[in-house]
Amino acid sequence: MKLKISTVLKFCVSLILAALLFYFVFRNISFAEFADKLDDINYWWIGLSVLLSIVSHLLRSYRWNLTLQPLGYELSIGRTFLALMSGYLANLVFPRLGEVTRCGVLKRIDGVPISVGIGSVITERVIDFLILLSLIALDFVLEFDKIFEYFVTSVKMEDWLANRTLIFAGIGLLVVGGIVGVLGLRYVLKYEFKNPTLNKVKEKLLEIVDGLGSIRKVQSPTGYVLSTIGIWVLYYLMSYVIFFSMTETSELTVGAGLSILAAAGVSMAMPVQGGIGAYHALVSGVLVIYGVGATTGLFFATMLHTSQMLMIVVVGGASMLGSLFIRRENKTESTTNS
């Protein structure tokens, strides 16, 4: 019952946070003006953006397969795509539920243990997080003048300086917590336990570590690198091509597209369903830096976000439904279980 209450509380908190962000962003917006802008949209560019996003998810499915191969699982892209899109659909309901859902679907249709799947997904998240940080740094360097000017005019520097002790203390606590967590994990993995529950925990942790280490054993490093590059190039293009759907954004630069990608990546990592509210706030805020009006920027963010969410609902819903009718293949067994 405690777990259920905890889950409900987390869901409610994330939903309330999303609602507050959404209200804060849209509180002064005229929806009649939004409706008028719909008549001026070139929807072909939106369709191209959706198509590019689907291709990026197929590439992600291929890359996921590459990390599972060293563990003894030869899977088809189609089946991992079903699991991946089912996970994205679950993330619209509850943040981070998608990782467990996609691994659960893969276990049911292909027999991949959830702990192994989670390990491979954590590896994927770490790689993508590092890439996102690199893109943010690159964007900061290339667009420094615009970003710095916006920061100085929008944020009171003296407030940040006054709270620097609290900021450093928070960073210190995070570092200490990370070190304690790593040491605790090493202890659990190092020793044998008489308690069957602790031994079961250790076995699951070892499977997760196996999944984390799978990237070192990838049989096609070139395929892994190229698919990773392809995923992020497509992420960039799916945001950039929508610039051409509106007259007000059609002349934005390549640098603006990079800023949008960075803002979108940060917003989707926030603990709210589908980045709702956070995505709209950050993406529209970035467009203000490039001289786009607040209402137009928010309309653009809403259009981009809504098109992707609808794609996930349709494709993710079809994937989850389709996975229910797929029978498990037992062609290959994990080397870890042999």
The pLDDT tens digits for 190-246 are 655 555 665 656 565 655 555 555 566 777 888 888 999 999 999 999 989 999 998
The pLDDT score that the predictor gives to residue 124 is 84
Q: Any alpha helices (H) in the chain, and if so which ranges? A: 2-26, 31-37, 43-68, 77-91, 97-110, 114-142, 144-154, 157-162, 164-190, 196-213, 221-240, 254-268, 278-289, 294-311, 317-323
Q: Which of 300, 280, 302 is nearest to 292 (CA)?
A: 300
Asked whether the whole model's pTM tops 0.85, one would answer no
The pLDDT value given to residue 162: 56
Pair 288, 15: CB distance under 8 Å: no
Residue 14 has pLDDT above 80, yes or no: no
| Range scoring the smallest mean pLDDT among 109-113, 159-163, 183-187 | 159-163
Instruction: For residues 91-111, give the mean pLDDT.
Output: 84
Task: Provide CB contacts within 8 A for 256, sequence distance 6+.
Answer: 143, 243, 286, 287, 290
Instruction: Give the pLDDT confidence score for residue 331 in this predicted structure.
Output: 47
Confidence (pLDDT) at 236: 94
State residue 13's pLDDT score.
Answer: 66
Question: Best-predicted range by mean pLDDT among 14-28, 99-113, 211-225?
Answer: 99-113
Per-residue pLDDT for 58 more than 50?
A: yes
Range among 101-105, 154-158, 178-182 with highest mean pLDDT value: 101-105
- Tokens found for residue 34: 């939004």
Quote the CA–CA distance of 205 and 207 in Å, as a whole number.
5
How many CB atoms sit inside 10 A of residue 297's CB? 22
The answer on pLDDT for 167 being more than 90 is no
Residue, of 38 and 105, whose pLDDT is higher:
105
Q: Look over the chain and give the mean of its residue pLDDT values, rounded to a whole number.
A: 78
Segment among 85-94, 143-152, 251-260, 279-288 with least mean pLDDT: 143-152
Most confident of 159-168, 204-213, 313-322, 327-336: 313-322
- Is the confidence at residue 176, as pLDDT, over 90? no
- Residue-level pLDDT at 59: 96
**Residue 12 pLDDT class (50, 70, 90 cuts):** low
The sign one gets for the Cα dihedral 107, 112, 115, 120 is: negative
pLDDT the model gives residue 215: 63
Percent of the chain's residues with pLDDT above 70? 72
pLDDT digits (tens, 9 = 90+) for 310-325: 999 999 999 999 888 8
Residue 109 has pLDDT above 60, yes or no: yes
Q: What is the pLDDT of residue 11?
A: 61
